[in-house]
Chains A and B, each alone.
Chain A
Amino acid sequence: MAPEMELALAARAENIAIVRHALGGFGEAFGVPEPKLSDIRLAVTEACANVVVHAYPEGHEGPMEVTASMHGNELTVLVRDWGRGIRPRSDSPGLGLGLSMIAALAEQLQLGHDSDEHTEVRMTFALSGDAASTNGWHA
């Protein structure tokens, strides 16, 4: 089944805010409580930041895709890129906390590839029973 929301945009730092706000709209439509939505936005921000910083070689730009799907009381957000994959970097400009933070915020975290070998970070968040049933949604 197709995700309820798909975003495709250039993997640029300034575009992460668009993803955050789109997730805010998603959360509003599904009645996701604000504290939970804040956790979701933070985790997805980290995943998108990883794409911006690490996915494509210096000086090259590529796409980033974010999808959000509701399955019962679970929200799955998938961040996908077409870059060089997740691997250790001795020259990483970050603190290396991104994936740990995502793992702490999400109920499930899967790192991998889709069938076309594109890099995927799949995060699953458990929502309360009230979310997803608001506004007539029955995922």
Chain B
Amino acid sequence: MNGLAADERERATDNVTRVRVANGPLVGPVLWRVVSMVLARADWSVERLDDALLVCDALCAHAPAYATDGRLAFSVQADEYKAELRVLELTADGATGLVRDAMLPVVGNVLERIADSVSVEPEERGEGSQLVLVLKGPSANA
């Protein structure tokens, strides 16, 4: 099995959920459910959960164009203060392209409108890129 890299497995004890799926119709149903479960477990409100799922919809629509090796990889972690969703292993210009593609007429950039922070980081190995989205949780301003 190609599998997840050894350091990814080691980090799996930090309660970050990592998922890699074949690029195609599997991406949406799996990402949607994983994000829903992780955020629901962190006691996010339905409204804020819906915001996060809008982000997922935008990612599912545009990320496949920047996938590498026919796979899309994500990591998600959340507590009551914030959620961090990373789109991993994108092409070198993929994370930037993904943000650019999320622009809608009138509405503006869906990712930047909904997420509290949108940033691009290089992959730890190779020349790929990651898109890092942070959403504030229900207790962020408490």
The answer on a CB contact under 8 Å between B3 and A6 is yes
- Counting CB contacts under 8 A, is A71 at the interface? no
B123 to chain A, nearest CB (A): 17
Q: How many A-B residue pairs have CB under 8 A?
A: 102
Contact of B15 with A8 in the complex, beta carbons under 8 Å: no
Tell whether, in the assembled complex, residue B12 and residue A26 are in contact, meaning their CB atoms are under 8 Å apart. no
Closest residue of chain B to A7 (Cβ to Cβ) is: B19
Contact A22 B26 (CB under 8 A): no
**B1 near A2 (CB under 8 angstroms)?**
yes
Q: Does B68 count as interface, using CB distance less than 8 angstroms?
A: no
| Residue from B21, B28, B31, B69 in contact with A4 in the complex, judged by beta carbons closer than 8 Å | B21
| Bound form: Cα–Cα A18–B39 in Å | 11
Chain A at the B interface: SS class: mixed
Residues of A near B113 (CB, < 8 A) are none
**Which residue of A2, A22, A136 contacts B25 across the interface (Cβ within 8 Å)?**
A136
Given A2-B1, A65-B4, A9:B17 Cβ within 8 A: yes
B9 → chain A closest CB, angstroms: 5
* A21-B37 contact, Cβ under 8 Å, with A2-B71, A67-B1: yes
CB distance from B136 to the nearest CB of A (A): 22
Question: Which of A2, A9, A12, A28 is B18 in contact with, Cβ under 8 Å?
Answer: A9
B71 and A12 contact, CB distance less than 8 A: no
Q: Which residues of the other chain, A, contact B8 by a CB distance below 8 angstroms?
A: 8
B34 touching A6 by the CB < 8 A rule?
no
Contact with B along A1-34 (1 / 0, CB 8 A): 0111111111010110110011011101110000
Please encode chain A, from 48 to 77, with 1 for each CB lying within 8 Å of some chain B CB and 0 for all others: 000000000000011111010000000000
| B22 and A4 form a contact (CB under 8 A) | yes
A interface residue numbers (CB < 8 A to B): 2-10, 12, 14-15, 17-18, 21-22, 24-26, 28-30, 61-65, 67, 78, 82, 114, 135-137
